[in-house]
Chain A
């Protein structure tokens, strides 16, 4: 385990360097935007990574909330499976299919996205049992906020030279990202300021509220746009395949990087909880009498 981290770091560094080379040298220059458009190779992968991390946080939060009782755990499992199955069925209904195609999405892509919900639910539940679920939630929230900050910083930096403005309130993607960032910053603040024994549960409830909020944010801004036409920052439409290729390489590199950062943050949190437990033990048992062999479930692989 300890040797794996440096090896993965080296591989990730190489990937990131390769992605940078691809982004700055190999990818063709955009006809309209010139070379500035290359910001996209950092902006978009950061966004996708942030959304993936927040999605994992949402899944972990739901599992944490459901983990209290056996009945709620079973109910949650069946609901998640039902959501997956129904989602796939609905995607292929003729009316829905037509609607999706008109907005440029393939039904199979939508179906795969919906299937991610039960898939991630079971994967996360298996890999992170018990209290580790909450550590995962905290980790993905924090690292997600870091990547989201990058999206919000690079977005206006890209918009200014290309469209002449820093920000357009009707820009649906950037504005939705801003709201998502606000929700998760408030999540992190709640975690820090709460002095409840059930902080983890309160934070999980907030994460669920945040997830419910996101589609509503999207629709409210979407309709606002149709009434007040605004510039589309980030562009739409199809992309040169070489650009898409570079974008995917960049995303792969950033995913590996995000994985390493999350792993580090995860270990840091486990260490933090270990230290807190030691302090708690000391104050219960007495300063000089902490048994040396004492260890906590968190520091061992769960049975």
Chain B
């Protein structure tokens, strides 16, 4: 039973379950739309400075959507003692973690793909810098949020006030990633600065924390 086969199997199971129920998916989509609309009413799109703040608004919107998605990550596993079944199975814990993280990544990316055109429309966005750079920023940034989010969601399982615990733990640790994502996006949108440094910093962040999560997840999984 290799790491990848277990990861893929778990991932396929999660996606299939999510696709069949579509409950979470639909409410997430609507929530994402609401966030964009609220921002549109709160921060005037026609203002001169809007191009400078849109990077921040977009990522704050994605952050809220990601937290809502992550909160549900492990909820399904708690029902019917599925999580306990994982713990006693010979499957490596890292495979479970990777499957969850990848599943969340796909889920959050879908939300982002749907929110982005709304932002473009409401804020009349035009990219003045190298637009292709937005792809590594989006991929690396989303993975940064999702990898730590999946890990902290697992920790939050064993706390009271589970739903509030996740953002409490996730936000402080994510600050360098958020600073980088927002600054990189703003640089690319305004074309004023190079996003190169921030992309490298995001990559470093992702490597460091993916390693840390994989190294420590087994202990977290087996905590009572």
Residues of A whose CB lies within 8 Å of any CB of B are 65, 68, 179, 182-183, 185-186, 189-190, 193-199, 201-202, 205-206, 208-210, 212-213, 216-217, 219-221, 223-224, 227
Contact = CB atoms under 8 A, between A and B. Distances in A.
Interface string B152-174: 00010011110001001101110
Interface in B168-213: 168-169, 171-173, 175-177, 179-180, 183, 193, 197-198, 201, 204-205, 208-209, 212
Q: Could you say which interface size class chain B belongs to? A: 20 to 34
A198 B216 CA distance: 13
Contacts of A193: 159-161, 165
B173 A65 contact: no
Contact of A65 (B172, B193, B201, B216): B216
30 contacts: A182-B171, A182-B175, A185-B172, A186-B169, A186-B172, A190-B165, A193-B159, A193-B165, A194-B158, A194-B159, A195-B159, A195-B160, A196-B158, A197-B223, A198-B158, A202-B220, A205-B220, A206-B169, A208-B212, A210-B172, A216-B201, A216-B208, A217-B175, A220-B176, A220-B179, A220-B180, A220-B201, A223-B197, A223-B198, A224-B183
Contacts of B180: 220
Chain A contact residues: helix, strand, loop or mixed: helix
Contacts of B171: 182
A227 B208 contact: no
A183 B169 CA distance: 8
B212 A189 contact: no
Contacts of A212: 208-209, 212
A92 to B, nearest CB: 25
Nearest to B211: A212
A182 B167 CA distance: 12
Contact of A196 (B148, B208, B212, B224): B224
Chain B contact residues: helix, strand, loop or mixed: helix
Given A193-B159, A212-B208, A201 B176 contact: no
B96 to A, nearest CB: 16
A208 B168 CA distance: 16
A219 B200 CA distance: 11
Given A190-B159, A205-B155, A213 B176 contact: yes
B219 interface: yes
Contacts of A183: 172-173
Given A194-B159, A209-B173, A223-B183, 15 more contacts: A68-B219, A193-B161, A196-B223, A196-B224, A197-B223, A197-B224, A198-B158, A201-B219, A209-B148, A210-B172, A212-B212, A220-B180, A220-B198, A221-B179, A227-B183
A202 B197 contact: no
A216 B193 contact: no
Contacts of A185: 172
A198 B218 CA distance: 13
A206 B155 contact: yes
A197 B222 CA distance: 11
Nearest to A68: B219
A202 B204 contact: no
Nearest to A199: B158
A193 to B, nearest CB: 4
Contacts of A190: 155, 159, 165, 168-169
B223 A201 contact: yes
Contacts of B155: 190, 202, 205-206
A83 to B, nearest CB: 15
Interface string B37-68: 00000000000000000000000000000000
Contacts of A213: 172-173, 175-176
